[in-house]
Structure 1
Amino acid sequence: MTSAVTAIPAAPSDAAREHFAVEFTFETDCWDVHHALSKEPDFILLDVRSPSLYAAGHIPGAVLLPHGKITRSKMSAWPDDTLFVTYCAGPHCNGAARGALRLAELGRPVKIMAGGITGWLDEGFELATDE
C-alpha cells in the first residue's frame, strides 16, 4: 500500500543535491547565527519587526530596521557588499522575507534566518530587552 509520502517518488540524488545546496544561499539557521555572533560576526543581523516587538525581546546584537523602513538611504550606512541576515517572529511570519526582498531589490546580499524568534527560543538561546 502506497502512502502519501511515497506516492510521488523522491527526486534523483543529483536534483536533490542541487535543490538543497541552493537553499543555503538563501537562508541560515539560528544555531549558525548564534555561533557567529559569539565571535566577530561577518554580517549584520536585522530584526525587521516593529519597535515594540524588538523592545519586548530581540536577538542580542541585532539591529532594528522594520522591513517597511528598509530604504536605500538607510542602507548607505553599510558598505555595498555587507551581508544582511533578516529575521522576524518565526515560521508563521513573512516579515523576514519582506525585508530580504527589499534588500535584494536594493542590490544588497541577504539571507533569512530560518525560524526567527521562535526558532531562536526553541534552541534555548536568550533574548535581550530594552528594559
Structure 2
Amino acid sequence: MSTVVTRIPAAPSPQALAHFEARLTFETDCADVWYATQHETKDFVLLDVRTPTLYAAGHVPGAINMPTRTISEQRLADYPPDTVFVVYCAGPHCNGANKSAVKLAQLGRPVKEMIGGLTGWIDEGFGLERG
C-alpha cells in the first residue's frame, strides 16, 4: 500500500539529478544571497523589481530598485554583459520576478530569481533597509 506521496513514483536518480541541477541555474535562495553579501565578494547585482514606494518601505540591503517596466538596454548599459542579475519581488504570490527574469533574458543578460522574494527574506529573519 502506498501513500499519496509515493503513489506516483519518484523519478529515477539520473533524471532527478538533471532536474534539480537545472533548477539551480535558474534560482537562488534568500540564505545564499544573504551569505554571499555578508561573507563573499558579491559577483551579482540584486534587483528589487517592485514599485519605488514598496522598495522605499523596505528592501533587501544592497538591492537596486528597477521595476520590471523600467528594465531596458539603456538602464543596463552601465553593467558589463556578463553581469549576473538576481531578481526578487514581494514573494511566492507575486510573479514580478519571473516577468523581470524574462525581460533580462530577452536582453541577453544572465539572470536568477531569488525564490521566496521579500517574504522569504523576512521569514529567514534577515533585516530590511528602508528609504
Which TM bucket (shorter chain)?
over 0.9
Q: Partner residue of 1:47?
A: 48
What do you get for the CA RMSD once the two structures are aligned? 0.8
Q: SS where residue 112 of structure 1 aligns? A: strand
Percent identity over the alignment is 58
- Which residue number corresponds to residue 69 of structure 2? 68
Counterpart secondary structure, 2:112 = strand
Map of 1:16-95 to 2, 5 A cutoff?
16-38=16-38, 39-95=40-96
SS of residue paired to 2:82: coil
Query: Which residue number corresponds to residue 118 of structure 2?
Result: 117
- Distance in 1, matches of 2:106 and 2:8, equals 36
Number of the residue aligned with 2:9:
9
Q: Could you state the TM-score of these two structures normalised by the residue count of structure 1? A: 0.96
Find the aligned partners of 1:43 and 1:6 in 2 and give their Cα distance: 39
The TM-score normalised by the length of structure 2 is 0.96
Structure 1 unpaired stretches of 5+? none
3-state SS, counterpart of residue 98 of structure 2 = helix
- For residue 73 of structure 1, give the secondary structure of its aligned residue in structure 2: helix
> Which consecutive segments of 4 or more residues in structure 1 shift more than 2 A?
1-4
